[in-house]
Chain A
Amino acid sequence: MARIVVEGLGKRYGAVSAVRDLSFTVAAHETLDLLGGNGAGKTTTIAMLLGLLVPSAGRIEILGHDMARDRFAALARMNFSSPYVALPGRLTVAENLRVYGHLYNVPRLSARIAELAAALDLGAFLDRPAGQLSAGQKTRVALAKALINRPDVLLLDEPTASLDPDTGDMVRGWLEAYRAESGCTLLLASHNMAEVERLCDRVLMLKAGEVVDRGTPRDLLAKYGRETLEEVFLRIHREGALPA
């Protein structure tokens, strides 16, 4: 059964269509990437999935809950991480995780924070204000916050942006392990093509708010006759998508 069901989703700002007629599903254990250039509608789509933005058209169902009517039941089992949305900088890392642990009603919170600190290597700066961390450390803290409630659906916007290759690789490995262990559904908006190829089962290619192509990374490489997803992305971005 699909954990994310999106049907005919659209968002208009006056005369501008940010997202048009978007439909897709994502199952348990599955990872989907929204891939597209700037202004393709990735962030708008994620904001609608999270209930931060009300769609102009269409319907979203997550974990069996209609997001227009019953979003809080779904939000308790979801989470989100983005290096572009900050956590309170004056609170320490531990305090931030504690705040979100309360908001998500996480049982045995101290143990959960210790577990995440060990897994994401946060121990050295748990008691430092979040605003004083390096970009890479902030990304790891944001990820810890996103995992605090052991989400069944995890939405990630550029999850490894500003991480060095070693830490980025560690985070990707951790996400793979979490997905394998929990059966979590992952939805990514990532431009890191190596990351997309490694983590994602399917890719949705977006351009100007519309899906222009979709498939597994392997199918897309074969269809466009390219060696890497980056080449496929550039082909679609510059010359348009091939017919289905």
Chain B
Amino acid sequence: MRAPRLRRIWGVVYRHACLYRKSWPRLLELGYWPTLEMLIWGLTARFLYLRGGTGWQLAGALLGGVLLWEVALRAQMGMAMSFLEEIWSRNLAHVFISPLRPAEAVLGLMAVSALRLIAGLTPATALAYGLYHFDIFAFGPVLVLFFANLVVMGWAVSFGVMGLILRHGAGAESLAWGVLAGLTPLCAVYYPAGVIPMPWRAISWALPATHVFEGMRAALAGHFAGGELALAAALNLLWLSALALVFLREFRLARVRGALLTIGE
């Protein structure tokens, strides 16, 4: 990659890093929801375990589900919210009259999303270990596959959300935090996909996260579900390509309609 290209991507990362550098409420907000989720679900898992009706495996599945689902949610929101930040500050026109290519802008937003993800999940991961003795890293190398698949799924959904925002304007901003959260029941995060009623189960199997969480539960039982993770990767490739094309199409149409000038108004 040529140096000017890397520098432009760094420009996007630097722009968003500046926002967090001096604002503790923003930094706090990154870790707030994952930590709260971990507290609630951690206590629930502990209660179920202490009641004696369930084994540690179910408690582990709940805690692993909470942490890993936050990976997808934070990846998606990190990218879409950073895009919205440009719209809220009415800066989109300046960004897109610079030599920054759309692909570089997206790579910059992905980097920002990854940084927000690490900052947001570190407290929840530490809390899971400190309070409930749940070590997410005990999954071993397969954790990298869970993590990568969920991050990519989050980014894929972000492409769709950003495309919708370009089409419908800032009025569609609630999609940035609503779309993926709305898919939670179908992603088999806390229960096996077999629990989902049949008409919905077909949709559930089309989502990469379902296969990741099936893989996670298999890993907790001591198995490596390579097939599930391969399927998750293939579905991610499909969804990422399709939704990236949607975003590029909406970006092109926004240039036809003049929406890049008026989108924040």
Contacts and interface: CB of A to CB of B under 8 A. Distances in A.
Nearest to A11: B258
A143 interface: no
A54 B7 contact: no
A90 B258 contact: no
B100 A103 contact: yes
Contacts of B19: 88, 90-91
B177 interface: no
A91 to B, nearest CB: 5
Contacts of B23: 90
Interface in A184-234: none
B142 interface: no
Main secondary structure of the interface of B (DSSP, over half): helix
A178 interface: no
Contact of A102 (B14, B86, B90): B14
A52 B97 contact: yes
Nearest to B15: A99
A52 B93 contact: yes
A80 B8 contact: no
Given A47-B258, A91-B19, A52 B90 contact: no
B188 interface: no
Contacts of B1: none
Given A90-B19, A100-B94, A105-B8, A52 B101 contact: no
Interface in A73-126: 75-76, 78-80, 85-92, 95, 98-105
Nearest to B90: A86
Interface in A47-85: 47, 50-54, 72, 75-76, 78-80, 85
B97 A88 contact: no
Contacts of A75: 97-99
Nearest to A99: B15
Interface in B29-54: none
A145 interface: yes
B255 interface: yes
Contacts of A52: 93, 96-97, 255, 258, 260-261
B4 interface: yes
A88 to B, nearest CB: 4
Nearest to A129: B22
A171 B94 CA distance: 21
Contacts of B85: 88
B11 interface: yes
A150 B10 CA distance: 21
A50 B97 contact: yes
Given A88-B89, A90-B19, A98-B14, A103 B255 contact: no
B59 to A, nearest CB: 42
A105 B256 contact: no
Interface in B204-234: none
Contacts of B18: 90-92, 95, 99
Contacts of A87: 89, 91, 94
B94 A102 contact: no
Given A75-B97, A85-B93, A99 B258 contact: no
Residue from A79, A102, A145 whose CB has the most chain B CB atoms within 10 Å: A102
Contacts of B261: 43, 47, 52-53, 85
B84 to A, nearest CB: 13
A76 B91 CA distance: 18
A-B pairs, top 3 by smallest CB distance, nearest first, are A102-B11, A76-B99, A103-B98
Given A52-B260, A53-B258, 19 more contacts: A43-B261, A50-B93, A53-B255, A75-B98, A75-B99, A76-B99, A85-B93, A88-B15, A88-B91, A89-B89, A91-B15, A100-B98, A101-B11, A102-B8, A102-B10, A103-B8, A105-B3, A105-B7, A145-B94
12 contacts: A52-B261, A53-B256, A72-B101, A85-B91, A85-B93, A85-B94, A86-B91, A88-B85, A88-B91, A89-B89, A99-B18, A103-B100
